[in-house]
Amino acid sequence: MIKFPYFVCCALLISVWSEAREIFSPVQDIIKINTTDTMATFELHCSHSSTICRFVLINDDQKTIQADMNLEPKRSYQRHTFDNLEPKCWYRITKLIDGNVIESGRFRTRMQAPSVPKINELFCLNPNELLVRWSPPIPVHQEGKYSFRIEWWPNTDPNHLYWAVVSIQNDSQQVIDPYSVIIRNLSNENYRLQIQSHLFDTEYRYDLFSDFSSNQEFNCIINNDINMDNMEILWLVSIIFLSIFATLILLLVIWYRYNDFRSTKHYDLEHFQKQFQLNDMDKK
């Protein structure tokens, strides 16, 4: 672990951490060139006779030292890139000579680009409407504004592109399914569909976006016909089952009536024979 004198630490960990904007002094010994979500590039100036310049990079959010480097004196600016930084994190870069702070600047890395959305479901509501559902991107930044671009086109004409944009509001948790959209006015064609994530940094006013998802094919007319065929099969099976059930009931009724008729006929025959015997005995 690198140790600093007390007065140097006080100079580095100054109260300007609470400020919510990037600050660089007008001396411009430290010039910011570019920042990404994990890297920051600067032009650093060290031309103080033969004195070595020290540059310290501190993570302002975690109050930890990210990098500590020395530069030899040169008349021109020296470009240096700091990597392995945290996304959407505040850092402070400070120039020191003999323990004295010459210049200090504060900057923030960019948000991490959203992940490619995953299409979870393509469901035909009817021959002309399609319900599209997808998974939310990772990571989810509360301060950023998410939106999704949905594109679809006929297989026969890829240049005939349709698109829609779905924005996720701050109160989207109150919505039943914010990551969904209904596409309307479809025709009897095979289509392909893809989705792209967008994240807008409302503080620094720039847009980050992912790659498009792998496109998926659909046709609501065909799907609807398949659904109708399944319904017809189900209806036919139901009719057959009811017909078999009714036939069994009818056979049971016939069998019962037949057995009842045989029992009655047998009883009548026995009764007739007994009556005949009684009559014969009376005659004798």
Q: Do residues 100 and 161 touch, judged by C-beta distance below 8 A? A: no
Cβ atoms < 10 Å from Cβ of 196: 19
As a whole number of angstroms, the distance between CA 153 and CA 10 comes to 61
Q: Residue 8 burial (CB < 10 Å; 0-12/13-18/19+)?
A: middle
pLDDT at 92: 93
**Three-class SS state of 283:** helix
Secondary structure (DSSP) of 213-282: PPPEEE-HHHHHHHHHHHHHHHHHHHHHHHHHHHHHHHHHHHHHHHHHHHHHHHHHHHHHHHHHHHHHHH
Task: Check: CB of residue 192 under 8 Å from CB of residue 98.
Answer: no
Angle at 22 (CA atoms; ends 18, 27), nearest 5 degrees: 115
Question: Model-level pTM?
Answer: 0.60
pLDDT tens, per residue, the chain with 284 residues: 344 443 344 444 333 333 445 777 666 889 888 998 899 999 999 987 778 899 999 998 888 889 999 998 888 899 999 999 998 899 999 999 988 898 988 999 988 888 899 999 999 999 899 999 998 877 665 577 889 999 999 998 888 899 999 988 654 555 567 889 999 999 888 999 999 999 888 877 888 889 999 999 999 886 654 444 566 777 888 889 888 989 999 888 888 877 776 666 555 556 656 665 666 666 65
Q: What is the per-residue burial (b if ≥16 Cβ within 10 Å, else e) of 138-161? A: eeebeebebbbbbbbbbeeeeeee
Please report, as a single letter, which amino acid is at residue 245. F
What is the predicted pLDDT for the residue at 28? 82
Distance CA 184, CA 151 (A): 13
- Are 55 and 71 in contact by the 8 Å Cβ rule? The answer is yes
